[in-house]
Structure 1
Amino acid sequence: MTDGRSSSQTAAPLPPGTLVAFYGDDYTGSSAVMEVMSFAGLPTVLFLGPPTAEQLARFEGMRAVGIAGIARSKTPAWMDEHLPPIYDVLAGLKAPITHYKVCSTFDSAPGIGSIGRAIELAEPRLGGAWHPLLVGAPALARYQVFGNLFAAIGGVGYRIDRHPVMARHPVTPMDEADVRLHLARQTDIPVGLVDFASMKAGHGDRTLAEECRRGARVLALDVLDEETLAEAGRLIWAHRGERLFAVGSQGVEYALVAHWRQAGLIEPAPPGRRAPPCERIAVVSGSCSPITARQIDFALDHGFEGIRLDAARAIDMRAWNAEIDRGIAGARQALGEGRDPIIFTAAGPDDPAVPALGTAVEAAGVAMSEVNARLGDGLGRVLDAVVREAGLQRAVISGGDTSGHAGMALGLYALTALAPLAPGAPLCRAHAGNAHDGLEITFKGGQMGQPDFFWTAKQGGASNR
């Protein structure tokens, strides 16, 4: 593939300063971007809200700067109010690439987590002659072929609209595999495609130009393997212009890193990091994923103490506060008896707690989004109390939407990466203006990690087990 390509002999050095500025539409996905860049030797900081000037100054010299958010669980009206000021902060960083990070399963809907609305709000502020849309990431077993998204689970690949988890997502089920058609439900911005066949034939630049001439402003880039991953990164970097707004999973950063390495612009992957084991760890989980359910089962079989909270009690704040207190007491007792507490609201999509919550929400006439926010905040309050009382040094928050609300309850303002645990879920160091400064924490999406993930987090990495 030689059409228009740079090589290690001709590629210009990477410019100084921030290379990538990004906003993640949930906390777990945001930390995944930080993981890709940091472990490629490109220092990265992730702020858990718009940073102050003082906070930015503390992390001067970072090659990537991100802001974690909760847009994935919010309405377009919420986006209209909250995203523009965040985009203005990102624009001020003057990075050549600004990235709106979405989940690698692309789950979204016109009324919740609208990726289309996020793009519409970004265009006038973050610019660019075109907007790459890159979701595939082979490291996560995510693949895009002729615009259709596939994801593997348990070693078996599924088209995303037939995926046993994402096709049944309780809020944003994926019933369309073609990312162009899925996005078209959320915006009128024309979407085109640079397919893997043209990439492998060396015609990627030509296809991109033709699609732009036809009026496409968002260009989906197929990623099937490491070759197309690097080529997607080259297309983004070579055609970035003065600035470029990109949309996609951490596949955007995987692609850029693959191209930069191939072009000799950064060093080969540095040796893997790991953290030392910790004596005790606490886990909170609001995930309904079957993957998380298997992780909970594994943890319970290996010495963790399970403490179930009744999510339906979040309908009433007085009842929910009492449930939170019960969770704290249970965790306190477990730690006192030498066991690691794992506080959860559901064990997979087939847990009776899931339909029970839906029935309770419908009967009470409250918004599910409000109840989900209470659940995340409550799990965060449990973790806050447990970590403070027991002086814990390490913790895990499981669940994409849960992580955002729970993270805010802890009062953290930034994260930096410490060690890999599983693709998309690194162990991080927390930065805070309270007792949690220095806490080692992982924000784990529901689809991430092997069954022994919580055990691995306690051990500091799979290589320690």
Structure 2
Amino acid sequence: MSESSQFPLLLSYYGDDFTGSADVMEALESYGVATALFLDSPSKETVAKFRFIGPRKTSETRIQSFGVAGISRTMSPSQMAVELPSVFSQIASVESQYFHYKICSTFDSSPSLGNIGTATDLAMEVFHSRNVPLVVGAPSLGRFCVFGNLFARVEQKVFRLDRHPTMARHPVTPMGESDLREHLAILSERKVLHMDISKVEGVIEGDTLKEDPPEEGQFLLFDILEDRHLRAVGKWICEKRGSSTQVVVGSSGVEYAICGHLSEVGELKKSDAFCSEPAELLIVLAGSASPGTAAQIEHAIGLGFVDLRINTAALVVPETRDEEIGRCVEEAYREVEAGRSPLLYAAKGPEDPAIGETARVFSERSLEGRAGELIAKYQGEILMRLLSRAGRQRVLVAGGDTSGFATKALGITALEILCPLAPGAPLCLGHSEDDATHGLEICLKGGQNGNHRFIESVLKGRLLA
């Protein structure tokens, strides 16, 4: 790449949750950018020494981009202020052209939790960009930003975000406002310059933006309806980047924008599609209560996956926790030994009575922490204990928090992509100092990723329509 003499890497990023971090890796790899995803901030030496183990790369392949799978979506602003500066500084020690603070494509954020404004402020203290492009739309993921409002597709229907069946009643960050300018106003004091669809079309036609130069530190919110708009935004970002690392905030639309433009000008090349071999069986651990994951669970059970519900109310109570973990591990191990695929899940959709029952128990016991976080933590322990008995098997984990805890429990330090499946949910290879999990085939998906056949797709190693 033409600018790589000053910056050894194209891009570094921090994902505000685990599954979203894998989404970015997939986007970069789709353009041939060799990418590793670390669970903790790597040192400069770690990045330099990293070697890929997948079949599509050689031992000589070097990292061109890397990310850190974070958990800032679950942090308060005060927690961010403690945790993020050192993480960002460590990332900045490895020079790159762009630093991407990766957020969910449904803009999960509130003033008190996962505050995008606070995270941006902390990133800007380290990277010192003149302004902050904000790229949320990602048409390949069914996310569209039009006249400042965010829309998301569910199956074949597109919803404005404040009417989205999941996000409008999200248990942690419900979205009551689809206009991102209005939502940002309660998260940050930074001004927002809106690049509406007509201005983005103008970039495609070769026009330059007629507005005064953006004020220092402003958000630049781009409308995106189609992939060609993404490439136009990527052109704008690449051409306007200064001499230092450029901070960009947004979904994986950031990578599709930048890489899409670099592909158009011949600096990158789109990768050919590739698949993995099918697995004999698949261990599924689902922590998401989204309608999409519920449909996937039902479809998989109909195919013969073994229905193993986790009693989440027992899991959050210290006196019953060990017994419930033991029961889940024993029943799942028995199915693996018989050559069947166990499907361990916490709930089937947002209306599952188990959610209310668990919340009631949690409240009555005045337990510390968040129920969802506790459940995800001990689901990770269930998976760790199961694999220690069953050996290395292909694994699918559904849910951002669950994915983070599961990989930590397994001692995985980094991930590389094995093959793409649904957008934002690739099948990966785990890197670990433990031989038992080094090379583990694992897919980490957000609750809303994938069609109803997604679990079946992971088993087969290729996307099924």
TM-based fold match above 0.5: yes
Q: Distance in 1 between matches of 2:399 and 2:173?
A: 14
The answer (yes or no) to whether the contact 1:280–1:339 under 8 Å persists in 2 is yes
The answer (yes or no) to whether the contact 1:192–1:216 under 8 Å persists in 2 is no
Q: Measure how far apart 1:316 and its partner are.
A: 1.9
The 1:209/1:58 distance shift into structure 2, 3 A limit, reads farther
Residue from 253, 267, 272 that aligns with 1:265: 267
The answer (yes or no) to whether the contact 1:17–1:62 under 8 Å persists in 2 is no
Deviating more after overlay: 395-404 vs 417-426: 395-404
AA aligned to 1:40 is Y
Q: Secondary structure at the match of 1:201?
A: helix
Is 1:373 matched with 2:380? no
Q: Measure how far apart 1:221 and its partner are.
A: 1.1
Q: Distance in 2 between matches of 1:86 and 1:27?
A: 15
Q: Secondary structure at the match of 1:245?
A: strand
Is 1:112 matched with 2:116? no
The answer (yes or no) to whether the contact 1:204–1:235 under 8 Å persists in 2 is no
AA aligned to 1:247 is V
> What whole-Å deviation, never above 9, does each CA across 1:216-270 have from its counterpart, x for those lacking one?
6111111110221101111111111122111100000011111111112112x22
The 1:222/1:18 distance shift into structure 2, 3 A limit, reads same
The 1:13/1:211 distance shift into structure 2, 3 A limit, reads closer
AA aligned to 2:19 is T
Q: Distance in 2 between matches of 1:309 and 1:58?
A: 40
Q: Distance in 1 between matches of 2:77 and 2:337?
A: 46
The answer (yes or no) to whether the contact 1:376–1:405 under 8 Å persists in 2 is yes
Q: Measure how far apart 1:180 and its partner are.
A: 1.6
Residue from 9, 19, 29 that aligns with 1:28: 19
Q: Distance in 1 between matches of 2:210 and 2:289?
A: 39
Aligned residue runs from structure 1 range 228-243, under 5 A: 228-242=229-243, 243=245
Alignment partner, residue 350 of structure 2: 349
Q: Distance in 2 between matches of 1:402 and 1:263?
A: 40
Q: Measure how far apart 1:313 and its partner are.
A: 2.1
Is 1:407 matched with 2:407? yes
The answer (yes or no) to whether the contact 1:281–1:392 under 8 Å persists in 2 is no
Q: Distance in 1 between matches of 2:106 and 2:167?
A: 7
Alignment partner, residue 246 of structure 1: 248
Q: Secondary structure at the match of 1:241?
A: coil
Q: Secondary structure at the match of 1:415?
A: strand
Q: Secondary structure at the match of 1:442?
A: strand
The answer (yes or no) to whether the contact 1:192–1:211 under 8 Å persists in 2 is no
Q: Secondary structure at the match of 1:21?
A: strand
AA aligned to 2:254 is V
Q: Measure how far apart 1:209 and its partner are.
A: 5.2
Q: Secondary structure at the match of 1:462?
A: coil
The 1:138/1:208 distance shift into structure 2, 3 A limit, reads farther
Aligned residue runs from structure 1 range 212-227, under 5 A: 212-213=214-215, 217-227=218-228
The 1:53/1:212 distance shift into structure 2, 3 A limit, reads closer
Q: Distance in 1 between matches of 2:433 and 2:277?
A: 25
The answer (yes or no) to whether the contact 2:16–2:69 under 8 Å persists in 1 is yes
> What whole-Å deviation, never above 9, does each CA across 1:88-141 have from its counterpart, x for those lacking one?
011111111001001000011111111111011111111111101111000001
Q: Secondary structure at the match of 1:447?
A: coil
Alignment partner, residue 41 of structure 1: 32
Q: Measure how far apart 1:53 and its partner are.
A: 4.9
Alignment partner, residue 69 of structure 2: 68
Q: Distance in 2 between matches of 1:296 and 1:185?
A: 37
The 1:82/1:216 distance shift into structure 2, 3 A limit, reads closer
Identity of aligned residues (%): 38
> What whole-Å deviation, never above 9, does each CA across 1:278-314 have from its counterpart, x for those lacking one?
1121011110100000000011001111211111223
Query: What TM-score results when the alignment is normalised by the length of structure 1?
Result: 0.93
The answer (yes or no) to whether the contact 1:315–1:361 under 8 Å persists in 2 is yes
The answer (yes or no) to whether the contact 2:400–2:446 under 8 Å persists in 1 is yes
Alignment partner, residue 3 of structure 1: none
RMSD between aligned residues: 1.8
Alignment partner, residue 4 of structure 1: none
Alignment partner, residue 55 of structure 2: none
Q: Distance in 1 between matches of 2:114 and 2:80?
A: 9
Deviating more after overlay: 193-202 vs 27-36: 193-202
The answer (yes or no) to whether the contact 2:283–2:393 under 8 Å persists in 1 is no
Query: What TM-score results when the alignment is normalised by the length of structure 2?
Result: 0.93
Is 1:58 matched with 2:66? no
Is 1:394 matched with 2:385? no
Q: Secondary structure at the match of 2:80?
A: helix
**Gaps (5+ residues) in structure 2?**
52-61
The answer (yes or no) to whether the contact 1:166–1:173 under 8 Å persists in 2 is yes
The answer (yes or no) to whether the contact 1:234–1:256 under 8 Å persists in 2 is yes
The answer (yes or no) to whether the contact 1:315–1:364 under 8 Å persists in 2 is no
The answer (yes or no) to whether the contact 1:282–1:387 under 8 Å persists in 2 is no
Q: Distance in 2 between matches of 1:137 and 1:446?
A: 17
Alignment partner, residue 8 of structure 1: none
Q: Distance in 2 between matches of 1:190 and 1:36?
A: 29
> What whole-Å deviation, never above 9, does each CA across 1:184-223 have from its counterpart, x for those lacking one?
211111122111111112389754852614x661111111
Aligned residues: 451
Q: Secondary structure at the match of 1:246?
A: strand
AA aligned to 2:214 is C
Deviating more after overlay: 294-303 vs 58-67: 58-67
Runs of 4+ in 1 over 3 A off after TM superposition: 11-16, 202-209
Alignment partner, residue 418 of structure 2: 418
Alignment partner, residue 362 of structure 2: 361
Q: Distance in 2 between matches of 1:52 and 1:244?
A: 20
The 1:342/1:432 distance shift into structure 2, 3 A limit, reads same
Q: Secondary structure at the match of 1:228?
A: helix
Q: Measure how far apart 1:12 and its partner are.
A: 4.5
Q: Distance in 2 between matches of 1:188 and 1:204?
A: 32
Alignment partner, residue 7 of structure 1: none
Q: Distance in 2 between matches of 1:368 and 1:133?
A: 32
Q: Distance in 1 between matches of 2:64 and 2:145?
A: 28
> What whole-Å deviation, never above 9, does each CA across 1:141-165 have from its counterpart, x for those lacking one?
1000111100010110011111111
